[in-house]
A and B are shown apart, each in its own frame.
Chain A
Amino acid sequence: MEIKLSKEEFCLFSDESKILILDAHGRLIFVQKINENLEIRIYSLFEFMVEYIRHVEGDKTLSIKPVHVSEDYVCLLTGRV
């Protein structure tokens, strides 16, 4: 049995649990600090992408949700091929 959630299923969880799922099954593909306090991370999780925005100083999750980001676009941003 393959452990796999759909986008819709992932959305049913609380933010704390979403982070746990990302830690266990996600692949971090992009991190960017917008300013000193705001950090955006993009994860590849199962068959979709997740955007995780957090307040660094307060260690607070501001948003964590599936997004439409193509891998090509991420490669472009990061310079990875």
Chain B
Amino acid sequence: MASIIETVSGIADYAKSKNIAHLHTQNEVIRDNRLLIANKDVVNFASCSYLGLEFHSSLKKNSIDAIDRFGTQFSSSRAYLSLGIYQELTQKLDKIFGGHTVVTPTTTLGHLAAIPVITSSNDLIVLDHQVHNSVQMAVQNCKAKGTTVRIIRHNNLEALEKILDEERENYERIWYMADGIYSMYGDKAPIHEINDLLDKYPSFNLYIDDAHAMSCFGERGQGYVLSEIDITEKIIVGTSLNKAFASGGGAIICGKKEWAELIMKCGGPMITSGPMQPAGLGAANAAADLHLNGEIKKFQKKLKDNILYTHLLLEKARLPNLSEKDSPIFFIGTSIPSVAYNIIEKMMSNGHYLNLGIFPAVPIKNTGVRFTITAVHSFEQIEKMVVDLETNYHLALSEEEFPIEKVYRAFKMKLPEEKFVSEKAIPHLSNHNLKVHLFDSLKDEWIEKWDSTIGKRSSFNYSALRGLQNVYSNNARIENNWNMKYLLITDNSDNVILSTFITTSLLKEDLLSPTEISIELEEVRKDVPYFMTSKVTMLGTPLTEGNHLFLKCTMKQVKLKALNLLIKELENIQKEEESNSIMLRDMVANDPDMDHLMVDLGFFKSSLPNSNTLNLQDIEIDEFIISLGKRNRKHFRDNILSAQDIIYSKVNKDPNQISKWYDLYSNVSSKNLSLNTFKVPKLFFEYVAKSDDWEIIELYSRAEDHLLGMIICEWNRDQYNPVLIGLDYEKNFEFNAYRNLLWESIKKAKSHGCSAVNFGYSAEIEKKKLGAKQERNIAYIQSADTFNQEVLMNESIESLKLAV
């Protein structure tokens, strides 16, 4: 599965190195939106304090007064004792929201207190795909106690209603959990339509996080949701007192009094976590007064005008603005991270502090520049920022050689008029004299270049690949038709700098998922064969394993240029073939340069199974056992040598055996879902029987002359590559057939004079026992749509059935 922590850590390190994340202010005093960061005076366009109330004299005075009266903290669990000003605040918030409020130390702790208490194992939780991470975290606790969880695509009320129709009889309550205003793109939940569903379905309940709308919307600053609809017994709203409310803490507002009481009494963090402290409570009480006495409207009006002004200017600048008209959160799409990093660096040096909107908050291919507008900004500050943003946006696209069309495509937005695009946005590509050669097949003059570079590795010689290409062409089934291309990049002197082969084919999306998920999906596929499958453009083919990228050059700049050209070709193929993802697989795990480049280009890093290679160079078959460790020698003696008297092997290419081989392979293929691929077609077996590049080793029992198994290997002069195995499982244990087939392939490789056996993925322990060394592999993946993968990671396959 994807190594998310590794990817996020890499992104954070990179952003840190560019001085655009994990920063600290250097101001002695902050009185408005001007900050000193990295010795640079900047205007803050990243504050979530949308009304600027943190500078309001009554909040500051009340906060100081509370410290004077109660000290810096009141340290007691709220289950025992709370400060009296807590009660005061709760009563004021009840008036603001018109519901029953529980004040919590933070919004996240509020969700953690509320969600597990209000839901039971008889409930179904439906999560919006983009609901805030803090809600998703709390829902994990519900999953642990047996509550069913499904995920639907963002704001897809059709899918929600389908679930309500189908499941209303099966669950006591069905909860939809969403955000009022989403924190990255600033878009909103369709609250009136959701409210209609609340009226229509008695068991339907709503839990909604409205943190980013608190104070900004509504007569009393009650937020977006409660300014549009009234709270009822079926609605719970979570909100923040730490954004526009400018005080710290969070609040859970319930339509039903009993729920508020239950959360207060039983919500884990309400019992075990510390309370909000006097300074925050003092400020919150003053902020609540501003909401109730109407003073808040003055700030809301200024914010509204600032938002309007920003939208109008962005429209004139024709930047890809994804935000909704009245949201204080703005998101300018860049698609790939490198453009966003570039813009933010430039904006910083122009005196504007903006944020990145990047993975994991958004899919990596939907990266962008995120900024916020507050009531504190002046029109002049907004004007200067938008003017600089327009200039820097186009400059960054040009410097990163990323055409604006791709940005609009990534966000499924309509391109501005043609003239504008052609004049302003098409970057000038300079290839540093590298030449790209992309072929469907290779002519003689290129075959030598191929076989002396990438063709030397594993089973990648041209003849073997061409054979595979023929097998996987013109077939009836979609999955048995690959589109293969050969790519070579050469320098001025026609030296090959980079060579690789690229295949676009249909893959199962659970290729790398845990076996239990694949078992469940295979059940669905009995009725819907192509359920959870999508086209992938990848280095290599679904049947080859090993490092598929030959890259030879000492100059880092040239290497990066060649890789950039490779990515561009992959993206072109992806566009032509309409595939969902690009995958650079079997790559070296620890290559920081490559990591940075790939993250910049919008790829995320994912772990692959280890590859297993046995080096044969210093090994003699007669003395093979000596090369093994003590424990493995025993294994070799007990399980392999001991069977030699009752089994024998032979290389057989008799086409009459094809059906038998296919049956044996089918046994393994249906049982082994650890790498869940489509079954190899029978045509492949016909091809290997005829090809000189391949051989089939059969294993028989001596007594009955029974075929126990077979292993199909590609022989690439220097390397021996077992690719497929077939077994008679009924006899496997008795004859140790699997282990002996591995051993037979080692002997055969040595007899051919090969220096290594590439055993590929899986069955790592068995291969290790025969001396194979493991190498960590990773893939860089870029997907147009990550919904299915994210749902698979959440192990919520039921959600995906909605797509059927």
Contact = CB atoms under 8 A, between A and B. Distances in A.
A24 B380 contact: yes
A17 interface: yes
- The winner among B312, B313, B386 for most chain A CB atoms within 10 A is B312
A1 B387 contact: yes
Given A14-B301, A24-B379, A1 B386 contact: yes
* Interface SS of B by simple majority: helix
A12 B378 CA distance: 17
A9 interface: yes
Given A1-B316, A12-B308, A24-B380, A17 B302 contact: yes
B309 A17 contact: yes
Given A17-B379, A20-B379, A21-B379, A3 B387 contact: yes
A27 interface: no
B305 A14 contact: yes
B300 to A, nearest CB: 10
Contacts of A9: 312
Nearest to B312: A9
Contacts of B379: 17, 20-21, 24
A13 interface: yes
B contact residues, range: 10 to 19
Contacts of A5: 312
- The winner among A1, A2, A5, A12 for most chain B CB atoms within 10 A is A1
B390 interface: yes
19 contacts: A1-B313, A1-B317, A1-B386, A1-B390, A2-B316, A3-B316, A3-B387, A9-B312, A13-B308, A14-B304, A14-B305, A16-B301, A16-B305, A17-B302, A17-B305, A20-B378, A24-B379, A24-B380, A24-B383
Contacts of B383: 3, 24
A13 B380 contact: no
A4 interface: yes
Interface of B: 301-302, 304-305, 308-309, 312-313, 316-317, 378-380, 383, 386-387, 390
Interface in A12-64: 12-14, 16-17, 20-21, 24
A2 B383 CA distance: 10
B305 A13 contact: yes
For the complex of A and B, 9 pairs with smallest distance between CB atoms: A17-B305, A1-B390, A1-B317, A13-B305, A14-B301, A20-B379, A3-B383, A1-B387, A14-B305
Contacts of A14: 301-302, 304-305
Contacts of B313: 1, 3
A4 B308 contact: no
B482 to A, nearest CB: 48
Contacts of B308: 12-13
A16 B375 CA distance: 13
A35 B308 CA distance: 36
Contacts of B386: 1
Contacts of A3: 313, 316, 383, 387
Nearest to B306: A17
B170 to A, nearest CB: 49
Contacts of A13: 305, 308-309
A13 B311 CA distance: 12
A32 to B, nearest CB: 27
Nearest to A10: B312
A12 B326 CA distance: 13
Nearest to B316: A1
A28 B381 CA distance: 23
A66 B383 CA distance: 22
Given A1-B317, A12-B308, A13-B309, 10 more contacts: A2-B316, A3-B387, A4-B316, A5-B312, A13-B305, A13-B308, A14-B301, A16-B301, A21-B379, A24-B383
B351 to A, nearest CB: 17
Contacts of B390: 1
Nearest to B388: A1
A64 to B, nearest CB: 13
A21 B309 CA distance: 10
A4 B316 CA distance: 8
A24 B380 CA distance: 8
A11 to B, nearest CB: 11
A36 B304 CA distance: 34
Contacts of A24: 379-380, 383
A13 to B, nearest CB: 5
Contacts of B302: 14, 16-17
A26 B379 CA distance: 14
Contacts of A21: 379
Contacts of B380: 24
Contacts of B387: 1, 3
Nearest to B304: A14
Nearest to B390: A1
Contacts of B309: 13, 17
A49 B316 CA distance: 21
A13 B313 CA distance: 14
A14 B303 CA distance: 11
B385 to A, nearest CB: 12
A72 to B, nearest CB: 30
Contacts of B316: 1-4
Nearest to A13: B305
A24 B378 CA distance: 11
- The winner among B305, B317, B386 for most chain A CB atoms within 10 A is B305
Contacts of B301: 14, 16
B302 to A, nearest CB: 7
A48 to B, nearest CB: 15
A70 B317 CA distance: 30
A20 B301 CA distance: 14
A17 B411 CA distance: 33
Nearest to A18: B305
A14 B379 CA distance: 13
A3 B390 CA distance: 12
B390 to A, nearest CB: 5
Nearest to A2: B316
B566 to A, nearest CB: 36
A3 to B, nearest CB: 5
Nearest to A23: B379
A7 to B, nearest CB: 13
Nearest to A4: B316
